Chain A
Amino acid sequence: MKSGSNLEKILSEGKFAVTGELGPPRGADAGAISEKAQHLKGMVDSVNITDNQTAVVRMSSWAASTLLIREGMEPNYQMVCRDRNRIAMQSDILGAYALGIRNILCLSGDHQSFGDHPKSKKVFDIDSIQLIGMVKKMRDEATFLNNEPLSEAPRMFIGAAANPFGEPYEFRVHRLAKKIACGADFIQTQCIYNMERFREWISRANDMGLTEKIYILAGVTPMKSLGMARYMQKNVPGMDVPDYVIKRLQGVDKKQQASEGIAMCCEQIEEFKEMKGIAGVHIMAIEWEKRVPEIVERAKLLPRPTV
């Protein structure tokens, strides 16, 4: 065991893992965390706590992660490279571990121009791949990035993101390989809608033997409405929403769109359960945590194993 986290145990026992996502509040209210957490409790094995996602200021992800631990749940602490240099990042990693955080997801982060402070100064001292290597170094070698020893190693289960739909497609799997080479233990992918392309990507990863070295959790986001599908198709960078998703939502009554979205999501999960190289799913119900129980239930992912 690298970290002994619940997520790591489930994955290492070969069980199909389910992770969820929780966005911290744009304010200092701890209550918001516990409220959202209630919907996810018992439904998922670990909850990603986003780090100022889309570059919008929110409660810090390590603090929100700690609040989640108080709720008796396991956080997956997200860390982006946009806002902190290597000094702050290493210090946050130490602090997060000391507070009981055992999973970390290493990301580059959305560019600040998308957020609420578009003219803030970017940091990007290191990139996500270098961050993975840094956490691994801290964990396995008990040294900082500069090779100086640290007193107690933060034994984190290291996650990384992968986007099978980003360009250039042929390079994506190589980027996955780089993340594995740097020491990532698990991958959570970008929201998947285009199943053909995803199958292509995973089969290439299988061929290269990558899926034997890492647990890949397929990312899904249920469509709340036709409007959301259209917005994601047009406006969200790196998102591949094929026309058939739009068509299918168009085909049902407006009131039924949410339930249709969930149905599509569940069908995907069913396929992932059988797919070679997939170790679990990551359900990103954006500001829709309350429907996660329904998804998990309809996708027959309950009860969650205890390990």
Chain B
Amino acid sequence: MSHNALQPVDTDKIKKMLDHKKARMKICLAACASCTLCAESCFLFVNHDNDPKYMPSYKVIHSLGKLYKKKGRVDRDALEQMKPLVFQNCVLCGRCYCPFGIDIPNMISFTRSILRTQGIAGVYPYSLGAPEDDAPADNTAQTG
């Protein structure tokens, strides 16, 4: 978050990563008929009063889907918006159902890898109430 916000987004790097898995990921993204039948298989969707933001397809379409659509040319704001989708709203338990058999967890973990290269990493609510004093500065980056 903090110190990374000043750095420009390395869109070339993102593009390179996207291209590496382009064929596979594009097929998977294209196979999604946005039917939303994956929704209930995610316990987070159920636990959050059926909030669409927790739908497996939503998380992928609005992160990896956008990255491919824009060919990686995204700004930091866009990446920050993807962050909660793939880090906080998903625990990668791998249990999402897709009638077409799309491997959603794999796409989410790929998105996480891309975001990490831009200094965006998930933070679990470890330190709620804990003093912020002497935690190593780079510790948060490892918890993703």
The answer to whether any beta carbons of A and B sit under 8 Å apart in the complex is no
